[in-house]
Amino acid sequence: MFKFNRHKRLTLLLPPELAQDMQDLEQKTGLSRGEIFRRAMALYKRAKETQQKQGNVLLRGSDGELREVIGL
């Protein structure tokens, strides 16, 4: 038998500021809203898994400065 990978539809109500951020990302990256959301979810999932294993989530700025992401 064939197993079909079915997508689930999700409707989100975003506050105006977040909706504008999404629109800005669409324009800057050329990605769809769905793809931006999928990538954000994947990043969030990895960050949470790392923190749950007592690891650190770090961002490195263009100046080389490291910042730890906390409170996820």
pLDDT digit string, tens, across residues 1-26: 666 677 888 899 999 999 999 999 99
In the beta sheet, which residues pair with residue 68? 58
pLDDT for residue 20:
97
pLDDT for residue 9:
87
Rounded to an integer, what distance in angstroms lies between the CA atom of residue 58 and that of residue 60? 7
pLDDT for residue 2:
61
pLDDT tens digits, one per residue of 20-57: 999 999 999 999 999 999 999 999 999 999 999 999 99
Rounded to an integer, what distance in angstroms lies between the CA atom of residue 57 and that of residue 27? 27
Q: What pTM does this model have?
A: 0.79
Name the 3-class secondary structure at 59.
Answer: strand
